Amino acid sequence: MNYTGRILITTIIIALIATARIYGYLYYDYPLFNLPYFGIVSVMICWWLGSQYDKVKFYSEKDILTSVHNRRFVLQTIPKLLVRMDKRNEKLNLFLIDVDDFKKINDTYGHETGDKVLRYLSNILVSNTTKKDIVARWAGDEFLIISPSSVAKSPDAIIKRINDALKKLSEEINIEVSVSIGAAIYPNEAGTLDALLHAADCKMYEMKSS
């Protein structure tokens, strides 16, 4: 869990305790190196409170099943990201990924296996993107990759990497797993998240039909 609330709040408390101890030593002759029982207890409580905050933040931004970002995170982040793209005159590449015949996988192998396939896929998407990219579960068996860039990227390279990884996965788990992927570029093809999704969705269904 890459959230630092517990570290931040604990650091602040330690700094306050150290400041209070030095102040007491300088102005009230309080022993500088006495064991700070109250301080230790305070640090432990703050670490626990910070950990709870980190858990709440994690579950508000991440999909519970796959641990990638969730729809809520995308909806909160995209408007700021598009503003940043405009200021820097940069592009944003959006990929919409849909698992082919996912209902058939669930019906044939069970929902537990279907969940495993979604987790495997999310790991593949994260492994084939950079830290700057956002991987999110959009809905059900649909995923997004949001990739800010200084230039418009050709979707072919990332689509090939994902498909190659899925071929290996299919062999390993002995289940045919494939995806259809549609891509759209901001602002070249669309100016809002909804328009980007629509453009990517149309291309994705073209891939499915072919």
The contacts of residue 55 (CB under 8 Å, 6+ apart) are 1
Q: How far apart are the first and last CA of the chain?
A: 40
How far apart are the C-alpha atoms of 148 and 121, rounded to whole Å? Answer: 21
Considering only CA atoms, which of 209, 210, 114, 186 is closest in space to residue 198? Answer: 186
Both tokens assigned to 118:
């979604």
The yes-or-no answer on residue 115 being catalytic is no
SS3 state of residue 89 = coil
User: Which ranges constitute the DSSP H helices of 89-177?
Assistant: 102-109, 111-127, 156-173
Q: Sign of the CA dihedral 195, 201, 204, 205?
A: negative
Both tokens assigned to 177:
């797993």
Q: How far is CA 33 from CA 11, 18, 19, 181, in A?
A: 19, 11, 13, 63
* Candidate list 100, 101, 141, 164, residue with the active-site label: 141
The contacts of residue 86 (CB under 8 Å, 6+ apart) are 187
- Residues with a catalytic annotation lie at 141
